[in-house]
Amino acid sequence: MTRRIAIIAASTLLALSACSETDDTAADAGQDGGADDAVAEDTGLDLTPDPSCTDDSWLVQIFGSVLGADGMPLQSIAKAQTCIRSATGLLTCLRPADTTADGSFTVTVPENVRCMARATMRTLVPLTDSTTSYCELEIGEASGRLTIDEPIVVFPTERPASLNDIGDGTVSRTVTYPSTLEVDLTPDALSAGGSRDPYLETSAAQVAPAADGTCFATEGIQWIDFFGFSPEADVDGGAFAARFPNTTGLAPGTAVDLYVLGGLDSTDAEGERIEEGVWHRAGTGTVGESGLIEFDSDNGLSALTWAGLAVAQ
Q: Which of 166, 160, 156 is nearest to 190 (CA)?
A: 166
Residues 18 and 140 in one domain: yes
Digitized pLDDT (tens) for each residue of the chain, 313 residues in all? 443 333 333 333 233 333 333 444 334 444 454 444 433 344 579 999 999 998 899 999 999 999 999 999 999 999 999 999 999 999 999 999 999 999 999 999 999 999 999 999 999 999 999 999 998 887 875 568 877 778 999 999 999 999 999 999 999 999 999 999 999 999 999 999 889 999 999 999 999 999 999 989 999 999 999 999 999 999 999 999 999 999 999 999 999 999 999 999 999 999 999 999 999 999 999 999 999 999 999 999 999 999 999 999 8
Residues 299 and 195 in one domain: yes
Asked if residue 161 is part of any domain, the answer here is no
CA 106 – CA 103 distance, rounded (Å): 10
Residues 129 and 30 in one domain: yes
Asked if residue 162 is part of any domain, the answer here is no
Other Cβ atoms less than 10 A from the Cβ of 237: the count is 12
Per the structure, how many domains does the chain have? 2
Asked if residue 24 is part of any domain, the answer here is yes
Q: Which of 278, 257, 280 is nearest to 269 (CA)?
A: 280
Residues 9 and 145 in one domain: yes
Burial of 47 (0-12, 13-18, 19+ CB in 10 A): middle
Whole-prediction pTM value?
A: 0.87
Asked if residue 103 is part of any domain, the answer here is yes
Pairing mode of beta strands 173-176, 115-116: unpaired
Can you give the CATH number for the domain in which 133 is found? 2.60.40.1120
Q: What does the pLDDT read at residue 246?
A: 98
Q: Which of 17, 21, 8 is nearest to 304 (CA)?
A: 21
Q: What does the pLDDT read at residue 141?
A: 59
Cis bond before residue 231 (omega within 30° of 0):
yes
167 contact partners, CB below 8 Å, separation of at least 6: none
Question: What residue numbers bound the domain in which 94 lies?
Answer: 5-154
Asked if residue 167 is part of any domain, the answer here is no
Asked if residue 165 is part of any domain, the answer here is no
Q: Is 105 helix (H, G, I), strand (E, B) or coil?
A: strand
Q: What does the pLDDT read at residue 37?
A: 40
Q: What does the pLDDT read at residue 150?
A: 84
Asked if residue 168 is part of any domain, the answer here is no
Asked if residue 181 is part of any domain, the answer here is yes
